[in-house]
Amino acid sequence: MPKHIHLLLEQLGLNRQHRALHLQFSHLPLNHQVLIQRVDGQHQINQGLQAELICLSTQANLALKQFIGCQVAVDQVTDRGELFRTSGIITAASQGHSDGALSLYKLTMQDATALWHKRRNSRVFMNKSVREISEILFSEWQSRSALFAASLSLDLTGLNRDYDVRPFVMQSNESDYDFLTRLWRSEGINWLIDEKHSIVPVSATEIQPQNLRLIDHSQAFSALKRRSIRFHRSHATEQFDTLTSLIAVRQLNSNSTHTQRWQAQHLAQDQSQSLLNTHQQSSVQDTASLNLEDAWNISPAWTGDLNAEDQVTASGTAQLERLNQQLNHYHALQSKYFKASSSVRDAQVGYWFELKQHAEIDQHPVHEREFLILGKRFYNQNNLPKDILLQLDSLLGQSDWQISEEERQANELYIVRRDIPVVPEYQPFVHRPAAYPQRARVVGPEGETIHVDAWGRVKIRFLFTRSDDHQHDAGAGSNDNDSDSAWIDVLTPWAGEGYGVRLHPRVGEMVVIDFFEGDIDRPFVMGRIHEAERHPVMFDAKGQLPATRKLSGIRSQEVEGEGFNQLRFDDTTDQISAQLHSSHGVSQLNLGNLSYSKETESSEGRGEGFELRTDQWGAVRAGQGLLISTYSQDTAAGNHLDAKPAKNQMESNLNNTKVLSDMAEAQQTDPLELFNSLKQFLNQLEAEDASKATAFKQAVMLLTAPHSIALSTNENIHLSADQQINYSAGGNIHLSTQQSLIAHAQHKISLFAAQNGARLYAGKGKIEIQAQDDAIEAIARKVIKLISTEDKIEITSPKEILLTAGGSQIKINSSGVCVTTGGKFECKAGQHLFEGGARVNSQLPKMPKNGTFSRRFDFSDIFNLENLKDQIKFKIINKTKNFEYIGVLDEMARTPRIFSDSSDNIEIQFIGNIDDKSIMSIKELNEDIYNYDTGDSVDDGINIHSEEKSDDEYKDNLKDDFNKFGA
């Protein structure tokens, strides 16, 4: 038996030129050792090519691994004597039985995309279209796999559309085949394995790479070389290949499609129009009445960079309409197709032909007689001598490799009319990988701690990414910076319009990623986890779990610093508390059963109630009023501004004070003037509406306690009021100072003791009483005593001293001493001396001169009185006294009176209402300056219209104005 299988056949009279099948390997030794006996395969658009080869050899022990990875070409002799080539790669080999003379081998041939099934990967692509991703992966395969480069080339001439640039695409534990075909399906791109040269001149022609054609429009499908095929029943005497059987198939499908999705940029559900299929599925049912809608709620629309810096395609309704059309085309494609039996050996998938000589088809227009081949199942057998065939059948039986076809060669075609659009099957929730939560790391530019966009989205690096897979884009995806992903949404427990919860993931933090609608291309951050050295929250930077497990809350970290903020809830038994804390200045609000920071399960207590404290500055502001009270309100059962205890106490004291004031008035001294202001204050503590919670009517502050209130400081206490400061006590008011007690009053000082008298003592130093501009009156019902215990008593007057008692009088003046009495004049002395007259010069103290100057301005000639409804504001500036006053013009465009102790120049600025700028400035006006004390009027400035009176009524009005203005 020859070792060369081909020599054996030639010895039996079957040379190469008479064989129906030819086989060529890229591994040359196999070409002499193996003969193809049968090919059985299938080829389909949007799937690929696979065939099973049954081969003979005279060698029983060929190493199977020398087949694996070989390029192989199967050439079939056509009815025209041409060689129709089908090529691929051997991906599997098995050895059958051997009878000592012949041995069987079964080989699996697939196109080069079968290699894509063998590589699984996870990687990301940013700002790329499906076409660009396809080119990137194909280029990688060609550079990394010599077999792939020699077996397949990419043909993009069938792509006619511009494809959307997607912000983010992820391959997740997918084979490259599943990943790429998923993308092609989503865009309605067909893929077709085609031979570079389907007809070769001789079987020894070098094996060429197949073409992977990507096609998105029907015009890209070409006609078969023969262009037409006859329909004819199969017959052994038939010279040319024909279509021997044509079976039409119809099946009910969805007759309308609708798609919708969430569109984040519009905060609305984006949806397409419901698209009705124009294909008439039934002659007895109207298409629309079937109401078989295929409605999809698909993954949310992508949202690229909000500033469009990534240059991705903006998502919109047009994408939904395109998907809607694609789904509709697929339903039409499945609604009617044909199964054809054929002997046409050179029928190519992805090519069309015209069917002729078919009784029914010939009645249709030309475009309905043209059919596109979408799939083919084919088989062919070599024409071996009968003896070898018998020997082959025996070996096949022993190998359990059954062959059922009786004919030597045939094929079955899956065809549709050429004018029906062809799209791949696409089910959005089927043609994609399973998506499960996974970890990722937050990334950002170098030096950034928090990197977010206007929506609070972050960028992440998926932990599976490898730099070798991302060289095409300068490593983007594995750089550990903001180039590693598109902007990713962050789940938050509360997201309102400008309100909610904002806790940004920080660069370097580990986050958990999930996927909207289970779509691997729609990731979002669902949360964060603590692992390894990333400890759970340590409140006050102390303690660890599980010792501090009874603490809960939030603690942040200062960016590029050691500080922090925290909201801590302590649920420890008998130490329950809450704390709002900023480490800056150790500023804290502590509530509840206060305790020291915990490093173990419990810590020492430090008080109960609340504490607001800081090492820095503090301020308490309440625009509507403030109540500070130590009156209890158990279980917070009352209104929070309930000031009834304080009000009752103040009203009680007010009544006592009123009795004392009335007594003073009855004694012809000054009554207290606090009643109106105090009543007004008490009135502000009442609620405006009884149906509402207690609230102050004005922004008053009330400090109240059932027991004592103490004010203490190591320096000064300042009390200031534009109107009155009122003191009232049911007991004593004590004033004590280690230095001086000084009191000033712009108007007067009035003291009244109702029962036990008044005392003024000076332990050391003298007592001085002066009335610098008027008289002193000392009146007593009984004795007035002037006593000097160690020195003299002096009574001095520059004009006259008058002593009057019981109808007698002594008058001392510059004229002399005059004594007048109606009774006797008695002088008792040891000696009486009467000498010449002499004048006594007395030194009187010099009284200071003072006075109060006032002025008032009338601007009715400047302002329209109608404009005064808007309340024109003015500012008075006394630069001499370093004093400013802001007020509002009255309804007659007048200012209130302004007082000073000297006739200073002033400046007036009109600042309009709140929103206006300064509209006028009048400087150095001394208009009708009136000396309140002397009654003198000074006018040394610009005369602006004013109202002045020189009578007593004017002085009374002036006093009222003065009292209202204050010191």
Which residue, of 335, 365, 382, is where some domain finishes?
335
pLDDT tens per residue across span 494-528: 999 999 999 999 999 999 999 999 999 999 999 99
Q: Is 782 a member of any domain? A: no
Cα–Cα distance list, 633 to 233, 636, 694 (Å): 105, 6, 14
Residue 734 lies in a domain: no
Q: What is the C-alpha separation between 340 and 349, in angstroms, rounded?
A: 13
Residue 289: the pLDDT is: 73
**Same domain, yes or no, for 922 and 888?**
yes
Which structural domain, as residue segments, surrounds residue 317? 256-335
First-last CA distance in the chain: 137
Give yes or no for residue 741 having a pLDDT over 50: yes
Domain-embedded: residue 875: yes
If asked whether residues 903 and 926 sit together in one domain, one would say yes
Residue 488 counted as domain residue: yes
- Domains: count for the chain: 5
Sign of torsion, CA 930 932 936 940? negative
Specify whether 693 is located in the same domain as 599: no
Q: How confident is the model at residue 17 (pLDDT cuts 50, 70, 90)?
A: low
Residues 573 and 656 in one domain: no
Residues 160-202 have pLDDT tens digits of 999 999 999 999 999 999 999 999 999 999 999 999 999 999 9
663 assigned to some structural domain: yes
d(CA 189, CA 213): 10
For 407-463, write each residue's pLDDT tens digit: 678 899 999 999 999 999 999 999 999 999 999 999 999 999 999 999 999 999 999
Residue 550 falls inside a structural domain = yes
CA 913 to centroid of chain Cα atoms:
38
Same domain for 524 and 547? no
As a whole-number percent, the residues of the chain with pLDDT over 90 amount to 50
d(CA 40, CA 409): 9
Distance CA 582, CA 926 (A): 55
pTM over 0.85: no
Q: Are residues 864 and 961 in the same domain?
A: yes
Specify if 571 maps to a domain.
Answer: yes
Answer yes or no: do 867 and 954 share one domain: yes
Predicted pLDDT of residue 857: 84
Are 921 and 909 in contact by the 8 Å Cβ rule? The answer is yes
Last residue of a domain, one of 309, 335, 361: 335
Per-residue confidence (pLDDT) for residue 855, from 0 to 100: 78
pLDDT (tens digit per residue) in 242-261 = 999 999 999 988 888 999 99
Are 491 and 547 in the same domain? no
Least confident residue range of 5-9, 189-193, 748-752, 796-800 = 5-9
Please say if the pLDDT value at position 957 is more than 80.
Answer: no
Regarding whether 959 and 858 lie in a shared domain, the answer is: yes
Whether residues 509 and 553 share a domain: the answer is: no
Domain presence at residue 184? no
The alpha carbon dihedral of 771, 777, 780, 783 has a sign of positive
Question: What pLDDT is attached to residue 643?
Answer: 79
* pLDDT class of 3 with cuts at 50, 70, 90: low
Name the domain boundary from 320, 335, 350. 335
- The CB-based long-range contact list for 90-93 (8 Å cut-off, 24+ gap) reads 90/25, 92/68, 93/64, 93/65, 93/67, 93/68
Distance CA 172, CA 179 (A): 8
